[in-house]
Copies of this chain bind each other. A is one copy, B any other.
């Protein structure tokens, strides 16, 4: 959220051309930080102070893992090879300790706050804050009898929500990935900016987006396993979150106007929940994550996904949109598994939209692009067919 204002403020008065070889502070830097810096080819320069360290390494999650070089002033520096556009998580390893870069904003990923650097995508404005009407993102708390606690969520309300005080809106439930949290789609994904721009261009319907915390532990459950936590989250969504949202906001509270999508683990959760609750959802999206584990088992469309694909004609009547995608340079296990579902559904004649993001990995640029492709298809049943 603060990413953009700092970036804009920093460059507002300078307007220095980004020639190749000329490094500028990244837009993901904290206010005033000179490093990390990037050039127009996507190279990144990192500089951190560690005067007494023996070895300092720069580890991008999806990207270079390189030793940094000690300078006489106690700082360690490195210039990477060019990275592809997008937001890249990284850590600095100082003598075996994973440290954040003090110059970078911290994003919740990998179950901790981690540094990241944004490499702009030339010509792409769809996730840049623009001179268009802006929706508002709300931090909200809802009480969950499932977990026995107050739970935090983020809610995006479209730009005209305040002015149109009688209008009701469809709702997209949008989930983060494993190790991330409910802030991810705003802070890393810029879902609000993407929707503002799509809505302003008339490409997506004004909609409410609800982003919940994908981890849930049932009240009085001391040490739940993975399946129990998944089930707890499903119950939290269907029994606590949806009723809260429909009570609190002016929603169109029926299945035709309710969608769910998610990335990676969030895609898994989406398929798990929606296929069991077609009474609640009619639009389904999976970005680098679909139902079913990443194993080698062949899909059985008669029984997998709670059998919703067993009868394609019945499926097409019930589900207005099934969309999923993956980045072309994601790890093999994601690619293979997700492509294989596309193949199986195509062979079985099940209507769906499948899209591969060129040149992007299991990272946010894939998921931003997925949202840009997915959102315009929502709540226009005719368009999704």
Contacts and interface: CB of A to CB of B under 8 A. Distances in A.
Interface of A: 1-2, 4-5, 8-10, 12-14, 30-33, 48-56, 74, 92, 94-100, 102-106, 108, 111-113, 129, 131, 134, 136-141, 143, 147-152, 162, 165, 181-183, 186, 192, 213, 215-222, 248
Contacts of A165: 165
Contacts of A129: 141, 150
Contacts of A219: 12-13
Nearest to A48: B97
A264 to B, nearest CB: 16
Nearest to A224: B13
Contact of A215 (B1, B9, B54, B95): B9
Contacts of A216: 9
Q: Chain A at the B interface: mostly helix, strand, loop or mixed?
A: loop
A228 B9 CA distance: 14
A96 B218 contact: no
Contacts of A33: 111-112
A30 B111 contact: yes
A103 B98 CA distance: 12
B105 A113 contact: yes
A17 to B, nearest CB: 15
A359 to B, nearest CB: 29
Given A217-B13, A221-B13, A97 B100 contact: no
B2 A181 contact: yes
A369 to B, nearest CB: 23
A95 B98 contact: no
A163 to B, nearest CB: 10
Task: Report copies per complex.
Answer: 2
Contact of A147 (B9, B50, B96, B213): B9
A113 B113 contact: yes
A215 B56 CA distance: 33
Contacts of A48: 97
Contact of A52 (B30, B54, B99, B181): B54
A5 B213 contact: yes
A111 to B, nearest CB: 6
A52 B105 CA distance: 26
B95 A222 contact: no
A301 to B, nearest CB: 35
Contacts of A5: 141, 149-152, 213
B98 A102 contact: yes
Contact of A50 (B13, B94, B221): B94
A148 B5 CA distance: 11
Nearest to A113: B106
From A55, A113, A219, name the one whose CB has the most chain B CB atoms within 10 angstroms.
A113
